Structure 1
Amino acid sequence: MNVKQFLDQKKSRRALTAGAAAVLSLSLAACSSGGGDGMAGMHHGGASASAGASASAGDGMAGMDHGSGADATAASDGLSAEQGGYRLNSGQASLPAGSPTEYRFTVTGPDGKALTAFEPEQTKQMHFYAIRSDLSGFQHLHPQMAADGTWTAPLAALQPGDWRVYASFVPGAGSGKGNGLVLSRTVTVAGDAAEAPLPAAAASTTVDGYTVTVEGVLRAGTAGGLTVTVSRDGNPVADLQPYLETYAHLTAFHAGDQAFAHLHPESKATPDGRGGPMLAFHAELSKPGDWRLFLQFQTGGTLHTAELTLTVRG
């Protein structure tokens, strides 16, 4: 199938897409009414203050923590080291530049003790992210935990500058058990820091020979949908391999303050293990302005990370 044929098919599906969007709106409106769809523990921030009044309420994705009010909005951005009695702790305020390094941390629970019980979230007990203040240098890792609750994240070489690291997890014990959290801290990497300008907003980008196109308009604090299409050499790609239970993982960071959001996939990987070329995500980005998106997908056993800038309306 060439691109023209694919686009013709895509146009014919627009009516179906509109219907899917309506269903999505209804499902999101039911947030806090209970129920589940099997995507347990999926919460990475981005919820607005109106998302719900109870952190224990369900919205069709079990374990999603919405919180309430201004505190919930701030916490959902992932910019705090503490939320609901859980705290991200580390003795490392700085890291070396230019060579692989390790970041060690613990998460303490409401009882003040190191938490050692975590529930899997997209197959992992801990998702760890690092990004520089100019939104470059993105890393997404799945560190290992020692018996005492100490996590060690093996970071690739870092460039000098101010960085923020995030721990995304679902507590398996304590008052927040089953509710996803994103906590973060800042670290400094010594050396001459030359910040790169944020690339302009664009609908598509290329990585490792693959073209990734993102369609959809998001408004701050309002649930919306994005459609991602993957092609190669002008042809749609339909052999995406499962990665973290889905065919792509989409993370976003807000320009200026590094607020964090995870754009949730609409479906899990299918038993046949082949996905694409179109992938649907839903998102609620809390702030207007530019967000840097990082889409991770896998083909032929290789993980690719596509980057592009998306402007969210106020």
Structure 2
Amino acid sequence: MFGSSRFTARRRALAAAGTAGALALTLAACGSSDDSSMSGMDHGPKPSASSPSAPSASATASPSMGDMPGMDHTAAGNGLADTRDGYRLTGHDTTLRAGKPATYRFTVTGPGGKPVTDFALDQAKRMHFYAIRSDLSGFQHIHPTMAKDGTWTAGLASLPPGSWRMFASFTPGSGAGKGRNLVLSRTVTVPGTSTKTPLPTAATTTGADGYDVTVQGKPMAGMGHPLTVRITKDGKPVTDLQPYLDTYAHLTAFHEGDQALAHLHPETKVNGDHGGPELSFHAELPAPGNWRLFLQFQTGGKLHTAALTLRVG
């Protein structure tokens, strides 16, 4: 009887140990599958309000942005705030004249409140500046110049009346944000009678300066996805693309409605003036809806800009 009781107790102990081990394995498996898809997730501090002329990021950001699984926010972010990780974009101008070339001046201050003057190279430039109209009908990509005091000057081509968002994309060369790509923005007003231009319908092909551009791929919101761009002219593959910003093409996307920015990273290796006809990109578009893509590529020393609307599910 005593032996039977001792056998029963031992069997219960072994069963309990097996249950605990199985539970531990289950928890470990959950951690390895779910947590890994969320690793590096950093939504950053809440955005601050912009200047009186510029709405706060919280008022303009799409509610779906920042909450999509599989999206790594440790890099640039969507650019809809003027402040991120202690860095702040200060615009010297709240309005710009219409119909004539204009100058936009701005400063980036660091966590200590002082102007940042040390910037690392990112695709051959220390600062990438974008101007995008609220209806996504106007786009300019500029590489401004910086004065010794940290003031940047961007020379803009003629702007039609309306609301424009000015993006500054940069990587601090030192300090708390060293090596981390950041995108900050503010809005400016171009006075005059403004007419909204409807966004062109989603398509897979577009043209620019006699070149035909085809985009292949169906990205899903919040997930990394490959995109392939094919460039032809007169029905023939283009194979003489020249390097532009250390790559064969620069691709930027803006979200309809809130103008959120996404930079699509090129993956095609550069090999002299022999780029094309196909170029590969890694796309991470965090929100569903329409995105306006702007592809810039160079041939014969001339820069071409092609635009099309991409629908993301």
TM-score where L is the length of structure 1: 0.78
Letter in 2 for 1:247: Y
- Tell me the residue number matched to 2:305: 305
Contact 1:108-1:114 within 8 A present in 2 as well: yes
- CA distance in 1: counterparts of 2:176 and 2:243, whole angstroms: 33
Letter in 2 for 1:76: G
- Tell me the residue number matched to 1:228: 229
Q: CA deviation at 1:90?
A: 1.2
Question: Does 187-196 or 171-180 show the bigger shift?
Answer: 171-180
- Tell me the residue number matched to 2:109: 108
Secondary structure at the counterpart of residue 171 of structure 1: coil
- CA distance in 2: counterparts of 1:49 and 1:199, whole angstroms: 26
Q: CA deviation at 1:207?
A: 0.8
Is 1:159 the counterpart of 2:166? The answer is: no
1:247-286 mapped onto 2 (5 Å cutoff): 247-270=248-271, 272-286=272-286
Q: Which runs of 5+ in 1 are unaligned?
A: 1-27, 33-45, 53-64
Letter in 2 for 1:212: V
Letter in 1 for 2:311: T
Q: Which runs of 5+ in 2 are unaligned?
A: 1-35, 41-64
Contact 1:47-1:285 within 8 A present in 2 as well: no
Give deviations 1:254-299, integer Å, cap 9, x for gaps.
00000000100013412x3310000000111010000000000000
- CA distance in 2: counterparts of 1:105 and 1:84, whole angstroms: 18
- Tell me the residue number matched to 1:98: 99
1:1-314 mapped onto 2 (5 Å cutoff): 50-51=69-70, 66-67=73-74, 76-270=77-271, 272-313=272-313
Letter in 2 for 1:230: I
Secondary structure at the counterpart of residue 274 of structure 1: coil
- Tell me the residue number matched to 2:24: none
Letter in 2 for 1:205: T
- CA distance in 2: counterparts of 1:47 and 1:303, whole angstroms: 33
- CA distance in 2: counterparts of 1:31 and 1:236, whole angstroms: 40
Letter in 1 for 2:144: P
Q: CA deviation at 1:247?
A: 0.4
Runs of 4 or more off by more than 4 Å in structure 1? Answer: 28-32, 46-52
- CA distance in 2: counterparts of 1:78 and 1:135, whole angstroms: 15
Contact 1:239-1:274 within 8 A present in 2 as well: yes
TM-score where L is the length of structure 2: 0.78
Secondary structure at the counterpart of residue 185 of structure 1: strand
- CA distance in 1: counterparts of 2:277 and 2:37, whole angstroms: 28
Give deviations 1:184-208, integer Å, cap 9, x for gaps.
0000000000010000001100110
Contact 1:48-1:284 within 8 A present in 2 as well: no
Aligned length: 254
Q: CA deviation at 1:172?
A: 1.2
- Tell me the residue number matched to 1:43: none
| Structure possessing the higher radius of gyration over alpha carbons | 2
- CA distance in 2: counterparts of 1:122 and 1:245, whole angstroms: 6
Secondary structure at the counterpart of residue 118 of structure 1: coil
The two structures, once aligned, show a CA RMSD in angstroms of 1.9
- CA distance in 2: counterparts of 1:179 and 1:288, whole angstroms: 26
- CA distance in 1: counterparts of 2:232 and 2:67, whole angstroms: 33
Contact 1:128-1:143 within 8 A present in 2 as well: yes
